[in-house]
Structure 1
Amino acid sequence: MFLENLIAITPTQHMTKAHPLGKTKEINVEYQELLLKAKAGSIEENLGDVNVETIYSFERFLSVLNTGFDEENEIIDPDYSKVMNVINLHYMNLD
């Protein structure tokens, strides 16, 4: 139940991009990877901007990734290049 686990997309994006041909039992992993990378960017932007309310947590995002990937990645400092590497490695291993 983390905000870091929510990605806002339109109903059309959900049915045509996230699930190929509207088959909700299938997941477009390339699109999922793209959305996770975009979410990481949004989190980095939010946490780095002192002029806006902080709504995200790096630690919660890492927890979301670890749960979804069924992995135990440990990144001590908010290091987004390492997060991108975790995402890249996960999806490379799916092939």
Structure 2
Amino acid sequence: MPKTPRRPTDPMAAAEAAFKPARKPAPAAPVPQGVPAPRELVSIRIDRDVLDYFQEDGPGWQERINAALREAAGLSGLSEEGKRPEELNATNDD
């Protein structure tokens, strides 16, 4: 009969085992061209006036913020939908 490992009797060893550093996930496979990249859910603090600016056109404000950030980062002048940030508004929502 195989022996099962015992729990560590040393409290320090038990604590070290419980709080091992988390492993980073493997890098994601590249997304094929034409397929939208998956979105990441994040929490970010934005000044109230900036939020009001993006929300004044109604639904789609998160996509407009994303498009503006992509443009500011130099990643693309177009959103994933192929529209410029100023072209995104509630009528573009699916």
TM-score, scaled relative to structure 2: 0.29
Q: Which has the larger radius of gyration?
A: 2
Q: Higher helix fraction: Structure 1 or Structure 2?
A: 1
Q: Which has the higher contact order (CA 8 A, sep 6+)?
A: 1
